[in-house]
């Protein structure tokens, strides 16, 4: 009896019942998951068929082997998450800014917006048809975005707080005009007409505040941010379409050599980022709106409001699709202020020029 007990005890320690080396490797970062899976009896999962009993009927017949399926799924999920983190780990503020800009519109050489992928594998670019085909596709992609921004608004990609690539929508011109009349109607009716489905305000004070809020949305969000912003986006799409078309020539010539491909990618990717920047900081551009935003509720003035903003802000669409790093805040603030100065200077020249022309006409009439 003693020997039988020893043999049965040794059989529990035998390699037959122990997890394989591959399983142990998959699970080395999942000790907690392993313990949880063993306690819950994961061999009851659908499709899991335990091997035959290793022991005759008796006390040990109730022992069931643990399925390794959950460990493999957990390992796969961990691997995918690790890949996502590796994509953005150690990125500088400039690299984050560049990626954010290249995710917005077609054009980036390693950016496949249709598949929501950013690839560092440049092997496909060795093919002449792949290179030129990508450029032509980007031209049509930006032309498509032009018409989308004319009506309902184009789709853009961005990195969320988990560094995953997600899809967002910009406001379109026609859609912004429709929203303007909806907000005006809601404001003038003091909340009796609410096409957006908000909760009905109660009492005179709530209705007055609701009306004021809708008037502010109609002017700031629908006219300035919507109508003017969509016109800005449409102009950007046309410029980018031309930029992508120009890229066809170097891709078809020096792009046949590795050095030429790298040079072309650098010039045209950085050029696209510059186009995005210049149109963003122009009056009514996305960056211009962020820089000039303020908050009466929090008593924060324009410039300071954006500077104090965290890198991630999911509550306001103006910051929702960007990583508002210190680098982005700096260059956008400088660019927006320079755009203001240029606009004031241009307006002043126009006014004074108009007055001078009037005086000149008066002198000729005399």
Q: How confident is the model at residue 16 (pLDDT cuts 50, 70, 90)?
A: very low
- pLDDT-derived band at 169 (thresholds 50, 70, 90) equals very high
Global confidence as pTM? 0.72
Provide the domain count of the chain: 2
Q: Write down the pLDDT at residue 17.
A: 43
Confidence of residue 7 (pLDDT cuts 50, 70, 90): very low
Q: How confident is the model at residue 22 (pLDDT cuts 50, 70, 90)?
A: very low
In our burial notation (b when 16+ CB lie closer than 10 A, e otherwise), range 307-317 reads eebeeeeeeee
pLDDT at 168 over 50: yes
Alpha carbon of 192 to those of 178, 195, 211, 218: distances in Å?
Answer: 18, 10, 10, 17
Q: Are residues 144 and 245 in the same domain?
A: yes
82 and 155 both lie in a single domain: no
Q: Same structural domain for residues 64 and 156?
A: no
Across the chain, mean pLDDT equals 80
Measured distance CA(340)–CA(333) in Å, rounded: 11
Same domain, 67 and 110: no
**80 shares a domain with 101:** no
- Residue 62: give the domain boundaries: 27-43+54-89
The answer on 113 and 62 residing in a single domain is: no
Residues 235/218, Cβ–Cβ less than 8 Å: no
**What is the C-alpha separation between 288 and 225, in angstroms, rounded?**
10
In whole angstroms, give the CA distance from residue 275 to residue 285.
Answer: 12
Q: Which of the two residues, 220 and 150, has the higher pLDDT score? A: 150
The Cα-based distances of 356 to 63, 344, 361, 365 in angstroms read 100, 18, 9, 14
Range 152-155, long-range pairs (CB < 8 A, 24+ positions): 153/230, 154/105, 154/233, 154/237
Report CA-CA distances (Å) from 223 to 177, 201, 215, 280, 322.
7, 25, 11, 17, 22
Regarding predicted confidence, which is higher, 160 or 54?
Answer: 160
Q: Which residues contact 291 (CB under 8 A, 6 or more apart)?
A: 281, 302, 303, 306, 332, 333, 336, 337
Are 114 and 65 members of one domain?
no
- 136 with 36, same domain: the answer is no
Residues 157 and 246 placed together within one structural domain of the fold: yes
| pLDDT of 350 higher than 80 | no
Q: Render pLDDT for 23-48 as a digit per residue (tens, 0 to 9).
A: 444 444 445 444 554 444 444 444 44
Shared domain check, 98 and 115: yes
Do 84 and 231 fall within a single domain? no
Report residue 107's pLDDT band, with 50, 70 and 90 as the boundaries.
very high
Same domain, 155 and 38: no
Model confidence pLDDT, tens digit, residues 133-143: 999 999 999 99
| Least confident interval from 42-51, 64-73, 281-290, 317-326 | 42-51
């Amino acid at each position: 009896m003693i020997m039988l007990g020893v043999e049965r005890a040794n059989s529990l320690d035998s390699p037959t019942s122990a997890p394989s080396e591959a399983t142990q490797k998959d699970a080395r970062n999942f000790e907690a998951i392993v313990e949880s899976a063993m306690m819950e009896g994961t061999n009851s999962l659908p499709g899991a068929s335990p091997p035959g009993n290793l022991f005759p009927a008796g006390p040990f017949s109730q022992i069931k082997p643990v399925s390794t399926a959950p460990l493999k799924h957990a390992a796969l999920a961990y691997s995918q998450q690790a890949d996502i983190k590796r994509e953005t780990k150690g990125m500088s503020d400039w690299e984050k800014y560049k990626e954010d800009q290249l995710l917005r519109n077609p054009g980036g050489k390693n950016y496949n917006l249709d598949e929501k992928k950013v690839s560092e594998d440049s092997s496909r670019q060795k093919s002449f048809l792949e290179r030129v085909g990508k450029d032509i596709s980007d031209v049509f992609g930006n032309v498509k975005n032009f018409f989308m921004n004319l009506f309902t608004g184009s789709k853009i990609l961005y990195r969320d707080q988990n560094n995953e690539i997600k899809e967002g929508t910009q406001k379109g011109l026609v859609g912004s005009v429709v929203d303007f009349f909806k907000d005006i109607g809601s404001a003038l009716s003091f909340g009796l007409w609410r096409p957006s489905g908000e909760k009905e305000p109660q009492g005179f004070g709530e209705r007055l505040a609701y009306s004021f809020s809708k008037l502010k949305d109609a002017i700031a969000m629908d006219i300035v941010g919507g109508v003017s912003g969509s016109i800005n986006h449409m102009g950007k799409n046309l410029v980018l379409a031309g930029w992508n078309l120009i890229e066809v020539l170097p891709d078809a010539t020096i792009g046949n050599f590795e050095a030429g491909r790298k040079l072309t990618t650098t010039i045209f990717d950085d050029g696209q980022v510059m186009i995005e920047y210049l149109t963003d900081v122009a009056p009514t551009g996305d960056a211009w709106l962020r820089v000039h935003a303020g908050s009466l509720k929090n008593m924060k003035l324009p410039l300071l409001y954006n500077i104090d903003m965290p890198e991630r802000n999911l509550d306001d669409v103006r910051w929702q699709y960007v990583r508002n790093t210190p680098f982005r805040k700096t260059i956008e603030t400088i660019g927006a202020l320079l755009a203001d100065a240029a606009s004031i200077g241009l307006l002043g020249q126009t006014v004074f020029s108009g007055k001078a022309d009037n005086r000149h006409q008066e002198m000729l009439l005399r």
